[in-house]
Structure 1
Amino acid sequence: MDSAPVCVKFTGTNYSTWAFQFELFLKGKDLWGHIDGTDIAQTSNPDTSHDLKASPSWAVLDARIMSWLLGSVEPHIITNLRAHRSAQSMWNYLKKVYHQANDARRFQLEHAIAMFQHGSLSIQDYYSAFLTLWHEYTDLVTADVPVAALSTIQTFHETSRRDQFLMKLRPEYESIRSSLLNRSPVPSLDICFGMVYTRRSRPQSLPVAHPLSDPHMHQNQLVAAPPEPLVRRSPRVSIPPDRYGFSSGNSISALTAALSNFDIPTCYSHAVKHDCWRQAMQEDIAALEANHTWDIEPCPSTIVPLGCKWVYSVKVRSDGSLDRYKARLVALGNNQEYGVNYEETFAPVAKMTT
């Protein structure tokens, strides 16, 4: 019980933070009754109440609480507490004098939160400073709130704190901010910070330096590779490859004539009437599911899903005969929005299985 009650001393301007810590400390020691008077109020007999207050055990505990109070405030405040002879009297004096300035401090915090911006701070420093302002503001606002309404106010503050944190981020975080705000439900503040921090920690792609376009690269810095020894090679006849399997000069017209023999549908309602196209669509769906292309999830009411369409084609052999029917399910990319439906783009690459 001789340990320091609080880690933050009362300076005259941080009453809510200090009082919150000191109250928790006394309640943990089961001594809060010396402050709110419940130790005396538990006995209805005035004589018994007087005996309880005069008992050595009660007086020793109250003196110990007073010493904790004096040790947790700045020296210039101790002078004002010398006239008080009980822990309850000291506590009531501090509350009466310093708790009245909460309205002015609350206005200062509201203004500071409204003007606070990410600016040049790192994401960790911005998050820490932002929470410091909000925690002190929440302590002031909820100090006198009834317990029944406390959860509602805390929920409102959590939502407002999360939204302000996202809105005050620098423009470079616009994509991740839009992605988080368009989720249903929007994640909590700690999850949002974790995702923003993780995104910021990703290694950035390094630009490719082009020597000829580098203003610091001079022409005399380019060293030619030593010439390789000449090796006599046998003459080789170059034969251009055939295109589309047709060796004649009329390859394009022959291919067009071959494709014109097939009725290629332009919409699903036309293709679904034919067994060959239904089979092609079933094969494509099976391939997409085998590759785990998607996960089926319920669509939130606030999200508009992207559309898709079927694209049909035929594959012909070199002699112009039918090889197989092909159907591909593609998303309507013109409806996608950067930062909402996707965040990064990549150069197209070949599918390794083809």
Structure 2
Amino acid sequence: MKIALSVKNKLAFIDGSIPKPVITNQHLLNAWTRNNNIVISWLLNSVSKEISASILFAESSADIWNDLKDRFHQSNGPHIFQLRRELMNLRQDQDLVSTYFTKLKAIWDELTQFRPMCSCGKCQCHGVKNMDIFVQSEYTMAFLMGLNDSFAQVRSQVLLLDPMPPINKVFASIVQEE
């Protein structure tokens, strides 16, 4: 949904960064109302009839978005546990490196949905950047651990690098070796 709203340049309506204008500027109010109603209709058409009935009378698309987020965006411990278990148990075995990597990446991408992110976008402490570097090294380690022993030499070379290269570069090196 966020992708569709972004393409239509309407994300600011659901995150509340375009507030409802004051009534003194009727032209702005009309434009805001029209665009807000467009986003509301998209949201209503994207949910089931039962859910749409409970959000039908909200005043703004941001209200609807926040209501839906509060109701349905919850951390899912058992699902996260299952994904981490799959990640820890995944091995290349008879797969090609690209098939193995694709399976790993699918799990990583799903786990990323549960990772906390900076919401202010103004972090000055580089904590988000450092966390990203750490997560990338974790991905690289998981990838290397699941590879067959035939890649032991390349694995050792990668592990000696400082800083560790991004996962995509490691994948490319392993595929060349394959």
TM-score range, shorter chain: 0.7 to 0.9
Q: How big is the shift at 1:95?
A: 0.5
Task: Tell me: CA distance 1:195–1:37, structure 2 relative to 1, closer, same or farther (3 Å).
Answer: closer
Give 2:174's aligned amino acid. Answer: V
Share of identical aligned residues, percent? 23
Deviation per CA, 1:115-166: give whole Å up to 9, x if none: 2222232211111110111122123203456542322211110111111101
Selected match of 2:101 from 122, 127, 135: 127
* TM, length-normalised to structure 1: 0.43
Matched AA of 1:79 = E
Task: Write out per-residue CA displacement over residues 167-187 of structure 1, whole angstroms, 9 at most, x where no aligned residue.
Answer: 111122212212222234433
Q: What is the TM-score of this pair, normalised by structure 2?
A: 0.78
> Could you tell me how far 1:92 is from its partner in structure 2?
1.5
Name the CA shift for 1:56/1:146 in 2 (closer, same or farther; >3 Å).
closer
Q: Which has the higher strand share?
A: 1
**Equivalent position SS for 1:142:** coil
Q: How many residues end up aligned between the 2 structures?
A: 171
**Aligned amino acid, residue 114 of structure 1:** M
Structural mapping, 1:309-320, within 5 Å = none
Q: CA RMSD in A?
A: 2.8
Aligned to 1:63: 37
1:79 aligns with 2:58: no
**Structure 1 residue 33, shift from structure 2 partner:** 3.1
**CA 1:103 to 1:146, structure 2 compared with 1: closer, same or farther past 3 Å?**
farther
Question: Aligned partner of 1:180: which letter?
Answer: V
The offset of 1:26, in angstroms, is 3.0
Provide closer, same or farther for how the CA distance between residues 38 and 187 of structure 1 changes in structure 2, counting only shifts above 3 A: closer
1:39 to 9, 18, 21: 18
Change over 3 Å in CA distance of 1:101–1:179 after alignment to 2? closer
Q: Which whole-Å CA distance do the structure 2 matches of 1:173 and 1:121 have between them?
A: 13
Q: Which has the higher helix share?
A: 2
Structure 1 unaligned runs (5+)? 1-5, 7-21, 201-354
| Higher Cα Rg, which structure | 1
Map of 1:187 onto structure 2: 165
Residues 118 and 128 in structure 2, CA contact (< 8 A), matched pair in contact too: no
Which structure has more relative contact order (CA 8 Å, sep 6+)? It is 2
1:26 partnered with 2:5: yes
> What residue ranges of structure 2 are gaps of 5+ in the alignment?
none
Partner amino acid, structure 1, of 2:90: F
